[in-house]
Chains A and B, each alone.
Chain A
Amino acid sequence: AQKVTQAQTEISVVEKEDVTLDCVYETRDTTYYLFWYKQPPSGELVFLIRRNSFDEQNEISGRYSWNFQKSTSSFNFTITASQVVDSAVYFCALSEAEGTDSWGKLQFGAGTQVVVTP
Chain B
Amino acid sequence: EAGVAQSPRYKIIEKRQSVAFWCNPISGHATLYWYQQILGQGPKLLIQFQNNGVVDDSQLPKDRFSAERLKGVDSTLKIQPAKLEDSAVYLCASSLELGGSNYGYTFGSGTRLTVV
Q: Do A and B bind each other?
A: no
**Which residues in A have some Cβ–Cβ distance to B below 8 Å?**
none
